[in-house]
């Protein structure tokens, strides 16, 4: 990959991630997910595992907000696995474990809410 192509691909990854983040803050969850799903793929093309972990960590809560709690948890688990396999202790501790815990809490709260509603 040429230096110019690398820079353009990196800029696209960052732009999709930022658009997704902004859309999520405006409660445009489907639009946010559509953009955020591009970032991990571009990070893989760039061979940038740190950016891939960050992208998965951003996508996980967006998926959860859209109601896909299982998918959110799976993304957080994938990010954690990527951190471990690449030896990225910083992201593993600081971001991924926190996000995974939040996904677990959200899943538990939603399960309790659905259980109470069925009684």
Residue 101 corresponds to which tokens in the numbers above?
């815990």
pLDDT the model gives residue 54: 86
Helical ranges in 1-119 per DSSP H: 3-25, 29-36, 38-45, 49-65, 69-86, 89-91, 97-118
Q: Print the domain residue range for 101.
A: 3-118
The domain tally of the chain equals 1
Query: Does the pTM exceed 0.85?
Result: no
pLDDT tens track for 16-54: 999 999 998 898 999 999 999 999 999 999 999 889 988
SS3 37: coil
| Phi-psi map region of 87: left, alpha, beta (phi>0 left; psi -120 to 50 alpha) | left
CATH number for the domain that contains residue 106: 1.25.40.10
């Amino acid at each position: 990959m040429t230096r110019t192509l690398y820079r353009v691909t990196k800029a696209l990854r960052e732009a999709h991630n930022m658009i997704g983040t902004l859309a999520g803050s405006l409660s445009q969850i489907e639009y946010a997910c559509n953009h955020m799903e591009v970032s991990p793929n571009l990070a893989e093309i760039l061979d940038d595992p740190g950016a891939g972990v960050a992208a998965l960590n951003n996508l996980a809560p967006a998926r959860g907000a859209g109601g896909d709690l299982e998918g959110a948890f799976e993304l957080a688990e994938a990010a954690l696995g990527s951190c471990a396999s690449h030896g990225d202790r910083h992201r593993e501790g600081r971001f991924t474990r926190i996000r995974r815990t939040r996904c677990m809490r959200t899943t538990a709260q939603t399960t309790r809410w659905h259980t109470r509603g069925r009684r």
